Amino acid sequence: MRYRFQSGAEIYEVALERAGEVFHATIAGQTYIVEVLDQQPGQIRLRMDGKPVTLHWAASNSQKWVAVDGCTYLLERPTAARAARPGGESGGETVRAPMPAQVRAVQVTEGDAVAKGQTLLLLEAMKMEIRIKAPADGKVAKLLVQPGQAVEKDQTLVLIGD
């Protein structure tokens, strides 16, 4: 499962996969092993990478509040304007998956200069190859996928900067 949340100007993508009795949560390329110890309304006790953590939460429509270690965070679904410019950056393009697929090949690395129309990635869906191309000239600011990874529709794949 994949989730996208926005807290202030920052957009976070979280991949959550069940592995037996635990979950693997990947955030910004870092994977954490998460075990649910106890769950009650408004509270979840977890063990993250061996460390006990208690989360308190509340929700209203698309807003969710999460409190952990004395800090409270407001999480919302990303707005269209902010989703196009992660982290409030000026300029640049967000390249998203057109449909659920699997990444077959990555043809660029972070920092590469790319030209509009250049193939960035190859995806496979329903036995079809989908070439994901650069929407504009620029530099690969962030590469968010790797070969073999499953992606969801509208998942951010690559960020192209000026």
The model's pTM: 0.46
For the segment 103-153, what is each residue's pLDDT rounded down to a tens digit?
A: 999 999 999 999 988 999 998 887 788 888 888 899 999 999 999 999 988
pLDDT for 62: 67
Calculate the dihedral angle through the C-alpha atoms of 48, 86, 92, 136, rounding to the nearest 10 degrees: 70
- Using the Cα atoms of residue 109, residue 105, residue 86 and residue 31 in order, give the sign of their dihedral: negative
Supply 7's token pair: 């807290």
Interatomic CA distance for residues 55 and 46, integer angstroms: 8
pLDDT in tens, 44-93: 999 998 999 999 988 777 678 788 887 777 776 665 544 444 444 445 78
- Domains of the chain plus CATH, in order, are 2-75 (3.30.700.30), 89-161 (2.40.50.100)
Give me the pLDDT at residue 129, please. Answer: 84
